[in-house]
Structure formats: C-alpha cells, structure tokens
Structure 1
Amino acid sequence: MQMFDVIIIGGGPIGIACGLEAKKQGLSYVIIEKGPIVNSLFNYPINMQFFSSSEKLEIDEIPFISKEAKPKRNEALEYYRRIVTSNKLNIHLFEKVEDVGKQGDHFRVKTQKNQYTAKNVVLATGFYDLPNKINVPGEDLPKVSHYYKDPHFYASQKLAVIGASNSAIDAALECWRKGAEVTLIIRGPEVGRRVKYWVRPDIINRIEEGSIKAYFDSTVKEIKSTELVVDTPEGEVILENDFVLALTGYRPNFEFLENLGIELSNDEKRLPSYNPETMETNVPGLFLAGVICGGMETHKWFIENSRIHAPIIVRAIQDKLQLVEKDT
C-alpha cells in the first residue's frame, strides 16, 4: 500500500487548491471526494450567483473568466473541473470516507472502496452536508427539504421558505417569479443583513408590495401534510401549504472531528483547535483547510479568504518531512 505524504479529504475548491500546491511542491498526495468534483457547488441551486467576483474565486493564480462580474454556479463548475483535468490532479471521486485513524506517526483512511495510508491528512470537507434542523413535528415529511435546486418544481404551489439568509431569499424570489405562492418565515425582525446587496432591496420591495408574504419574529411550530402552524407576534397562524424549504443553514460534521481527536470549543461556536500559522490541529499531522475552520461561524471563511490555507499547509508539511529526514 502506497504511503502518501498527504491525503486531502474533500474535493471542493480548497481541497483542489491543496492538491495543486502539493503537486507543485513535489509531495505525493491524493484527494478523496465523496461525490463529483466540487460536490458542494454541484449541489448548489441551478441559478445560484456568487457573492464574490471571479478573481476572488481563483485558486493558484489560475484566471477565472466569467461573463459577469459575479460568476454563476455553472461557470464555477466549469472552472474547477478544468483545473482538475488540465493539471491531472490525483483525485478519487465518489469515495466517501468512513474512518480515519492514527497508528503511530501515520494515518489510515478507509473509504467505501479503498484503504490509504499517509503521513499527514488535510480535512477540507466544508459544511454543506449537514443542515441545521428546526426540530419541529413534521420536519421529516416528504414535502420538507433543507436543500433547494430548481424553482420550476414549486410553480403554482403554496411554498413556505424558512430562513433569512442568501439561500432562503434567493429561493423565495426565484420561486415567486416562477409562479409559486411564497411565504417567508423569519426568526428575526428583518431580512438578513448579509443577503447579497443587489438582492436585499428586491426582496424587501416584494414584501412591501405584498407579492411575498413575510412573518418576522416568527417560528414554525408544526408542519402538517397540508398546513403549517406558525408562532407569530400576533399569535398562532395556520397556513395552507404544499411544500416547505427549511433553508436555515448548515454545519460541519462535529462528530467526525471529535472522533479524530480534534478539540472543539465548549461554547456555541464549536471552534476547532488549530494553529493559524500552520493550520495543524491539536492532533499532529492533521490539518484543517477552508470553511471547516470556523465551526458554527460558517460565514467567516469563504473561498476567497481560505485559499491561502493551501500554501500554508503544504509548507508546514514540508517542514515536518524535512525534520523527519534529518532525524533519520
């Protein structure tokens, strides 16, 4: 079995950036991704447009040419796919990691298909796989989804969208424009302040004119097959309802991190322990890259500010390998 210098778990933009850097610096590596290339981006809404401009989504100084200043999902898929294929990166797709264990100075990584060994492991797994549940009766009904893909599906339907962030607001507007009867249910007093600056005025105008109904300072109490029970400042409201999009955010797989021995803060942020100068966790040889570094603060790390993790990590791994060589 080959001993890799580094195994990179996660084939998103930051995992790809780590693979590029490892290859450039002559390290033996493999990227393991449970789905297609940039699996999380692939599962974004079809019409999704990034908040960042294209140059801020670039990795390894490879130009990202977009038709508009803010690229869309399909352009990002094309960009990152071409990087992987043109650079012949060693990436294994559709392999879900089942277990990571440390034996002495080495790691063993088990997937659904193979087993690997490595001197170092980088976790670049993001946070899009585990939705934040609202934990109410009926949340497991088939009409409820925590992911949104295409507005056509909801045409001519009574749709409730739970949330006030970019994903919720984008879905509400797109589905309304395709003929859905949209109701927004927002826990706070207003539309989220982090909503894209060119989208926020749009949703506010649609709410003010009555095209989209919004309940502020409100929460869902129960989801039924044809109704929705909502707690509002004016009391309980029962809405006729066909579908629910509970777009209340996502979180990293904290259980996976803890099983690896990574220490997490005891507060609500659940911040993982790592050295920002090397990105190495409290587990020697285990590194973090990308949004997973932020714990529950998933808005803190993006492609544009975490792409620097790749050269930091590879430099730290090179230093570790050189020390081992000197000792031997």
Structure 2
Amino acid sequence: MQEFDVVIIGGGPIGIACGLEAKKQGLSFLIIEKGPIVNSLFNYPINMQFFSSSEKLEIDDIPFISKEAKPKRNEALEYYRRIVTSNQLNIHLFEKVTGVKKRNDSFSVTTDKKQYTAKNVVVATGFYDLPNNLNVPGEDLSKVSHYYKDPHFYASQKLAVIGASNSAIDAALECYRKGADVTLIIRGPEVGQRVKYWVRPDIINRIEEGSIKAYYNATVKKISLTEIQINTPDGVVTLENDFVLALTGYMPNFEFLEKLGIQLSKDEKRLPQYDPNTMESNIEGLYLAGVICGGMETHKWFIENSRIHAPIIVQSIKSKIK
C-alpha cells in the first residue's frame, strides 16, 4: 500500500489549495471529498453571489475571471473545477472518510470505500454540513429546511425565513421576487450588520414598505403542518405557513474532530487546538485548514484569509522530511 506524504480530507477551495501546494513542493498527496468538487459551494443557493471579489477567492495566484466584481456560484464552481482538472490533482470524489488513526509515525485513513496510509493528514472539512438546529417541536417536518436552493420552489407559498444573515436575507428577497408571501423571523433587533452592503438596504426597504413582513426580537415556538408560532415582544403570534427556511447558520463537525483526538476549548466557541505558525493540531502530523480553525466562530475564517494555510502546512510537512 502506498504511503502518501499527506492525505487531505475535504475537497473545498482550501483542500484544493493544500493539494496544489503539495504538488508544487513535490509531495505525494491525496485529496478525499465526500461529494463533488467543492461540495459545499455546489450546495450553495443557485443564484448566490459572493461577498468577496474574485481576486480574493483565487488560490495559488491562479486568476479568477468573473463577469462581475462579485462572482456568482456557477463561476466559482467552474473556477475550482478547472483548477482540479487542469492540474490533474489526485482527488477521490464521493468518498467519505470514516476514521483516522495514528499508528507509530503514520496515519491510517479509512473511508467508506478504501483505506490509505499517510505520514500527515490535513483536515479541511469546512462547516456547511451541520445546521444550527432550532430545537423546537415540528422542526423535523418535511416543510422545514436548513438549506435553500431555488426560489421557484416557494412561489405562491407562505414562507417563513428564520435568520438575519446573508443566506436568510438573500433567500427572503429572492423568494419574495418569485411570488412567495415572505415573513422574516429575526432573533435580534435588526437585520444583521454583516449582510452584504448592497443587499442590506434592499431588504430594509422591502420591510419598511410592507412587501416582506418581519418580526424582530422573535424566536420560533412551534411549527405545525399549516402554521408557525413565534414568540415576540408582544406575545405569541400564530401565522399561516406552508414552508419554513431555518437559515440559522452551521457548525463544524465537532464529533469528527474529537474522534480524531483534536482537543477543543471548553467554552461555547469550541476552538480546536493548533499552532498558528504551522497549523498543526495537538496531534503531531495532523493539521487543520480553513474555516474549521474558528470553531463556532464561523465568520472568522473565509477562503480569502485561510488560503494562506496551504503553504504554511506544506512547509511544515516538508521541513520534517529527511
């Protein structure tokens, strides 16, 4: 069985960046991705537009040319796919890592298809797989989703959108413009301050003119087949409802990290332990890259500021090779 210098878990932009850097430095590597190339981006809403400009999404100084200053999902998919194929990166798709165990000075990486051996492992799995649940009655109904794809689905329906971040506001506006009767349920006193600067005035205007209803300082109490109950400062409000988009954010797979033996902080941030100078975790040879480095602070690391993790990690790995 071949022993790789490094196995990279996660085929998103940062995992791809690590693979590119490993190839450039002459290391043997394998990227393992449980879905398609850049799986998380593939599952973004069809019409999503990035907050970052295209040059900030570039990896390894490979130009990202987009039609607009802020690229859209389909352009990003094309960009990262072409990087993988044109550089002939060694990547296994639709293969899920189920376990990583260290034996002496190497790691055994087990997937649902095969087993691999590596001197080092990089975990670059992102945070888009596990939603922050509401933990209310009715959340398990089929009408409730934590992921949003296409506004056409909600045309002519009574839709409750829960959240105040970019994903929730984009969904509310798009679905309203496709004919949905949209109600926003926002836990805080206002639309999120981190909402894209060209979108925030739009949603505020739609709320003020009454096109989109909004409840502030509100939380969901219960969801049923035909209604949604919300707690508001004025008491419980019951609304007719067909669908619920609970876009309340996501979290890294902490269970997977703990299974690997990575230590997490005991507070609510659940920050994983790593050396910022090398990105190596508390386990020698096991590195972290990308958004998972921020634990529950999922707004801390993005493509544009975590792409530097790739050269840092590969340099650390290469320094150990005799």
- TM interval, shorter chain, is over 0.9
Matched, 1:161 2:161: yes
Q: For 1:161 and 1:104, how far apart are their aligned partners in 2? A: 50
| Counterpart Cα distance in 2 of 1:105 and 1:200 | 51
| Structure 1 gap segments, 5+ residues each | none
The answer to whether the aligner puts 1:54 opposite 2:54 as a matched pair is yes
CA deviations on 1:32-88 (whole Å, 9 max, x unpaired) are 000000000000000000000000000000000000000000000000000000000
Correspondence list, 1:135-284, <5 A: 135-284=135-284
Corresponding position of 1:28: 28
What RMSD, in angstroms, separates the aligned Cα atoms of the two structures?
A: 0.4
- Aligned match of 2:129: 129
Q: Hey, what's the Cα distance between the residues in 2 that align with 1:303 and 1:157?
A: 35
Q: Secondary structure at the match of 1:244?
A: strand
TM-score by structure 2 length? 1.00
The Cα of 1:25 is off from its aligned counterpart by 0.3
Runs (5+) with no aligned partner, structure 2: none
* Structure 1 residue 305, shift from structure 2 partner: 0.2
Counterpart residue type for residue 252 of structure 1: P
The CA distance in 1 between the partners of 2:46 and 2:32, in whole Å, is 25
Q: Distance in 1 between matches of 2:14 and 2:86?
A: 17
Take 2:260 and 2:82, find their aligned partners in 1: how far apart are those partners? 33
The separation in 1 between residues aligned to 2:114 and 2:25, in whole angstroms, is 26
Question: What is the distance in 2 between the residues matched to 1:225 and 1:156?
Answer: 17
1:7-22 alignment, distance < 5 Å: 7-22=7-22
Q: Tell me the alpha carbon deviations over residues 276-313 of structure 1, each in whole angstroms, 9 at most, x when there is no partner.
A: 00000000000000000000000000000000000000
Aligned counterparts of 1:101 and 1:43: Cα–Cα separation in 2:
30
Code of the residue aligned with 1:261 in structure 2: it is: G
CA drift at 1:144? 0.2
What is the identity, as a one-letter code, of the residue corresponding to 1:27? Answer: L
Q: Distance in 2 between matches of 1:102 and 1:28?
A: 18
TM-score normalised by L of structure 1: 0.98
CA distance in 2, matches of 1:232, 1:204: 19
CA distance in 2, matches of 1:10, 1:309: 14
